Amino acid sequence: MSPILSLLDEVGDRLAGADPRLALLALSLHVANHVLRSVAWRGVVAAAYPDQRVRFLPVLSAYAAGVALNAVAPARGGDAVKVGLVRAAIPGSAVVTLAATLSVLVALDMVIGTALVLGLGLSGVAPVDLGGGLSHAATAAPVAVAVVAVAAGLGFLLRRRLRELGAQLRRGGAVLRTPARYAVVVALPQAAAWCCRVGVVLCLLAAFGLPATVPLAALVMVIGGASTVVPLTPGGAGTQQVLLALALSNTASAAAVVSFSVAMQASVTIVNALLGLAAAMAVCRSVRPVRAVRTALAGART
């Protein structure tokens, strides 16, 4: 038997031998991650539109539909669907403001993600070249100065329009002006959602007999994010498996890593798709899945 066929055979055996209870717990935590992030986003949107009644179900449905589309659409097209669906649910809302509310969530994600990368580097789990980063930053400084100068010139010419956009952007970040509220309604559920994400990876690592440690789970999450930066394939499929096999080569066999990665990506994608489909049916109040998806996409574009 060729090495490739042998690897595929071992991957199949490991997939069949995974612990279904841990896999089910992982999927439950993944759903909880969706709910918690939707809670955080609703908190940001409610602060941006204090005179409006921002209901949770439309926000949850928009978030789920957007995540499902992001798995197959290039350039994070699902985010546009999130904004479009929430805009349809809030009369008088603006696209720029709602996009800014998503940026509030992304900002904390970047802080947490950077902390993970630095923690992995300092612990020796993954190499982080701080000296090289400083060198690149120094090289890029003149380019950054030029970009800022050009942006300042354009800003002077378009100052009236930019003032209007600035007002809409500031409205989207209104929750940041009340730190206590931000901590309770945004940062806390968002941090809990990150804990759920770590829990998903830990459960699946254990389900496939791999070392279920927090540093290893963090490494898997960082690699998963890196594989989708340039989406050569839907959801970084293939790229993620190769990166994980290389990064975890000293921890487990290639078959164990590939089976774990394939199962994680497939199960998360399927759950995302089902949640997105349910969200579209809920938003459109239809029991016909295809019709609901078409109506939701048409509503998001308007």
Average pLDDT per 10 consecutive residues for the chain, totaling 302 residues: 50 69 92 96 96 92 86 70 89 91 92 85 61 48 52 53 76 94 96 94 88 84 64 52 65 74 81 82 68 60 59
CB count in 10 Å sphere of residue 114: 10
Which among 276, 246, 281, 274 has a CA at the least distance from the CA of 261? Answer: 246
Q: Is residue 18 a contact partner of residue 207, using CB atoms and an 8 Å limit?
A: yes
pLDDT of residue 294: 64
Per-residue confidence (pLDDT) for residue 137, from 0 to 100: 45
Residues 6 or more apart whose CB falls under 8 angstroms from that of 55 comprise 89
pLDDT at 297: 58
What pLDDT is stored for residue 75 in this prediction?
Answer: 55
Token representation of residue 53? 């009644």
Total Cβ atoms within 10 A of residue 178: 12
Backbone dihedral angles phi then psi of residue 50, each to the nearest 5 degrees: -65, -20
CB 104 within 8 A of CB 37: no
What is the domain partition of the chain in residue ranges? 3-301
The pair of structure tokens assigned to 161 is: 């329009």
